[in-house]
């Protein structure tokens, strides 16, 4: 008996992935991270991806059976980075990867998760779709920040959230602030926050600053406990350079995303300008910044 030819479309295979080589970056200090990263790696392999672990993630979790890459090679060799942890993990990875233009997906194993917005329990269904190109891209403005001493640059780096000038001892610090080449104020305060729209829901919000939608091209400048109460938060255009000079105070430092710290001396100058790079965050289709705010800040509870 002659059987009809097999219908190759009857059991179609999954569509090919858009992102062929995927790197995993993890928050390796947390309990249970090893098992979570191993599970995600197996999932990505099953989806048809080549998988690498960021080198420090692999070494600190003992997951050495996978290919490992230093973070810079993740930027040059991978099509996508999956960051597993909280926003702090995303900040650390994002600063390295932004200059390479590698898109980043965040799976939340932290607390708030404004940028790592995919709940761990939802990643199989959500990530499978995103790997095949069904996603929304959310480019984020970054700051290029530098510290100058006697005309010499002693620090230069990228900030995703904010640049904070503050004190480590008692007493206020004295800062001179210029924006776009124009003198703005001489400010005595506990410190000053210069924030991106991404960072406007972090330290700047705690200090009384407004929340900015990520698509707004602006910075928020927020004084910390100013001596003059009329010194209030202000929204500035991101194309203007902000220059802060340390005029006085003890044990003054500059923090970049609260992860990199540089001690400052009187006369040091901090320059903050818009970076040429963007952080390419990817979200599931239908993602909304307002949904994130409502969920993370518990709006509408009790209604």
- What is the per-residue pLDDT across 243-261, written as a single tens digit (0 to 9) for each? 999 999 999 999 999 999 9
Q: What is the pLDDT of residue 10?
A: 35
Distance CA 83, CA 116 (A): 7
**Residue 186, in any domain of the structure:** yes
Domains: count for the chain: 2
The residue annotated as part of the active site, out of 87, 138, 162, 268, is 87
Q: Which of 15-19, 70-74, 233-237, 269-273 has the lowest mean pLDDT?
A: 15-19
Q: What is the DSSP string of 90-112?
A: HHHHHHHHGGGT--EEEEE-SSS
- 119 lies in the same domain as 152: no
Same domain, yes or no: 79 and 116:
yes
Q: What confidence score (pLDDT) does residue 171 get? A: 87
The confidence score (pLDDT) of residue 2 equals 42
Q: Is the pLDDT of residue 6 over 60?
A: no
Under DSSP, the state recorded for 4 is P
In the numeric block, which tokens belong to residue 97? 């990867």
Specify whether 256 is located in the same domain as 162. yes
CATH number of the CATH domain containing 225? 2.60.200.30
Q: Is the pTM of this model over 0.75?
A: yes
Spatial contact of 219 and 159, defined as CB atoms under 8 Å apart: no
225 contacts 189 by C-beta, under 8 angstroms:
yes
Q: Are residues 119 and 37 in the same domain?
A: yes
| Catalytic status, residue 150 | no
Per the structure block, which two tokens stand in for 220? 């928020």
Q: Assess if residue 118 is contained within a domain.
A: yes
pLDDT in tens, 15-47: 789 999 999 999 877 667 899 999 999 999 999
Distances in Å between the Cα of 101 and the Cα atoms of 147, 256, 280, 293 are 25, 21, 7, 26
Q: Provide the residue range defining the domain that includes 227.
A: 142-276
What local confidence, expressed as pLDDT, does residue 53 receive? 97
In a domain, 12, yes or no: no
Residue 171 shares a structural domain with residue 261 = yes
Instruction: Identify the residue whose tokens are 């059991």.
Output: 11
Q: What is the pLDDT of residues 134-182, one digit of tens each?
A: 999 999 999 999 999 999 999 999 999 999 999 988 889 999 999 999 9
With 80 as the cut, is the pLDDT of residue 114 above it? yes
């Amino acid at each position: 008996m002659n059987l009809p030819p097999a219908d190759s479309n009857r059991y179609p295979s999954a569509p090919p992935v858009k992102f062929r080589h995927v790197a995993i970056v993890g928050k390796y200090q947390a309990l249970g991270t090893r098992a979570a990263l191993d599970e995600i790696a197996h999932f990505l392999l099953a989806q048809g991806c080549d998988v690498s672990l960021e080198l420090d993630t692999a070494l600190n979790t003992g997951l050495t059976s996978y290919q490992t890459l230093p973070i810079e090679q993740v930027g040059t060799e991978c099509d996508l980075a999956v960051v597993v942890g909280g926003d702090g993990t995303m900040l650390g990875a994002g600063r390295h990867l932004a200059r390479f233009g590698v898109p980043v997906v965040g799976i939340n194993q932290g607390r708030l998760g404004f940028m790592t917005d995919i709940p761990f329990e939802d990643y199989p269904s959500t990530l499978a779709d995103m790997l095949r190109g069904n996603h929304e891209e959310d480019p984020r403005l970054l700051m290029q920040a530098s510290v100058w001493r006697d005309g010499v640059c002693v620090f230069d780096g990228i900030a995703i959230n904010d640049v904070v000038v503050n004190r480590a001892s008692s007493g206020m610090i004295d800062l001179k602030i210029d924006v776009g080449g124009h003198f703005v104020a001489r400010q005595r305060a506990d410190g000053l926050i210069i924030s991106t729209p991404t960072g406007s829901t972090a330290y700047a919000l705690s200090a009384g600053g407004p929340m900015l939608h990520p698509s707004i091209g602006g910075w928020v400048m927020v004084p910390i406990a100013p001596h003059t109460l009329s010194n209030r938060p202000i929204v500035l255009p991101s194309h203007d350079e902000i220059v802060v000079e340390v005029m006085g105070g003890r044990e003054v430092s500059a923090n970049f995303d609260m992860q990199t710290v540089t001690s400052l001396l009187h006369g040091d100058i901090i320059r903050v300008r818009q970076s040429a790079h963007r952080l390419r965050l990817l979200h599931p289709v239908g993602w909304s910044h307002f949904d994130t705010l409502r969920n993370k800040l518990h709006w509408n509870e009790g209604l």
